[in-house]
């Protein structure tokens, strides 16, 4: 499932974050990928070990906690601290699949990458190209979203960022391990949750709504890995 989550950050929050980000310590983006990714990746990233990167990552994590849509779709168990990248002057990241396991800070714990996230920190009209293309069995899906919006998609997907031919594309990106490993199960829970919310708006906490809520939690209890 590929999902657009609007307004994770407000426009004011994006401007404040960019004011600090644009002057930050940028390094070669290939520092965080393996040999396959390094062969097709040309961009820049904020040094993941920098104090600025950690502080701005905390701002993104706090914003995610305010988004019920993000939580309902992702059911996050653990999240890799957000990173930040920039593309300009023809920079690109060719088709690749994200690594299946990533180390968490400190090196003691690891995380299975179930879902990948890109949070856009610039407006679509600020740059040409730079489209996120995600390829799956249903074709190629494109994302180039307003500043503050996030795209969520399976980390197992083949995907790329097309060359930025004018302006600059600036984003935050990160991965997460979900409470529910299976993509189909996550999608079913997400759709059931959305149905419950709509019915509660119409019917209140009726017996039918309470029954469906019970089914949701029993399914989550059955499928969750904690």
Quick check: helix, strand or coil at residue 120?
strand
pLDDT of residue 39: 86
The CATH code of the domain at 183-223 is 4.10.860
pLDDT of residue 30: 86
pLDDT of residue 221: 98
Query: For each successive 10 residues of the chain (226 residues), what is the average pLDDT?
Result: 97 98 92 75 94 97 98 97 97 96 87 98 98 94 98 97 98 98 97 97 96 98 96
Domains 3-178 and 183-223 are alike in CATH topology: no
Quick check: helix, strand or coil at residue 108?
coil
R_g over Cα of the chain: 18
Please state the pTM of the whole predicted model: 0.95
The domains of the chain are located at 3-178, 183-223
Enumerate the β-bridge partners of residue 13.
Answer: none
Residue 220: φ, ψ to 5°: -65, -40
Look over the chain and give the mean of its residue pLDDT values, rounded to a whole number: 95
Question: What is the fold of 3-178?
Answer: Jelly Rolls (2.60.120)
Q: What is the pLDDT of residues 156-178, one digit of tens each?
A: 999 999 999 999 999 999 999 99
- Within the chain, strands assigned E span 3-5, 26-28, 41-42, 44-46, 76-79, 83-88, 92-96, 101-103, 110-112, 115-120, 127-129, 132-136, 139-143, 150-154, 158-161, 164-178
| Residues 110, 87: Cα–Cα separation, whole Å | 28
What are 180's two structure tokens? 């529910």
Q: What is the pLDDT of residues 123-132, one digit of tens each?
A: 999 999 999 9
pLDDT of residue 19: 97
pLDDT of residue 210: 97
pLDDT of residue 35: 66
């Amino acid at each position: 499932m590929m999902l657009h989550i609007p307004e994770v950050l407000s426009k004011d929050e994006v401007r404040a974050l960019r004011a600090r980000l644009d002057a930050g310590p940028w390094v070669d983006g290939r520092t965080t990928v393996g040999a396959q990714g390094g062969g097709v990746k040309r961009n820049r990233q904020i040094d993941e070990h920098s104090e600025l990167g950690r502080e701005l990552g905390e701002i993104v994590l706090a914003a995610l906690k305010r988004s019920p849509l993000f939580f309902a779709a992702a059911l996050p168990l653990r999240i890799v601290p957000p990173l930040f990248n920039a593309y300009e002057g023809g920079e690109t990241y060719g088709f690749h699949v994200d690594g299946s396991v990533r180390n968490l800070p400190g090196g003691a714990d690891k995380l299975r990458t179930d879902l990948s996230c890109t949070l856009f920190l610039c407006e679509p009209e600020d740059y040409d190209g730079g489209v996120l293309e995600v390829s799956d069995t249903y074709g190629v899906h494109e994302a180039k979203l307003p500043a503050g919006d996030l795209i969520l998609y399976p980390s197992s997907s083949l995907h790329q960022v097309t060359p930025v031919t004018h302006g600059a594309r600036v984003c935050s990106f990160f991965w997460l391990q979900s409470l529910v490993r299976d993509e189909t199960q996550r999608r079913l829970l997400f759709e059931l949750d959305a149905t419950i919310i709509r019915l509660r708006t119409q019917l209140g906490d009726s017996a039918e709504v309470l029954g469906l809520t019970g089914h949701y939690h029993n399914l989550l209890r059955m499928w969750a890995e904690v």
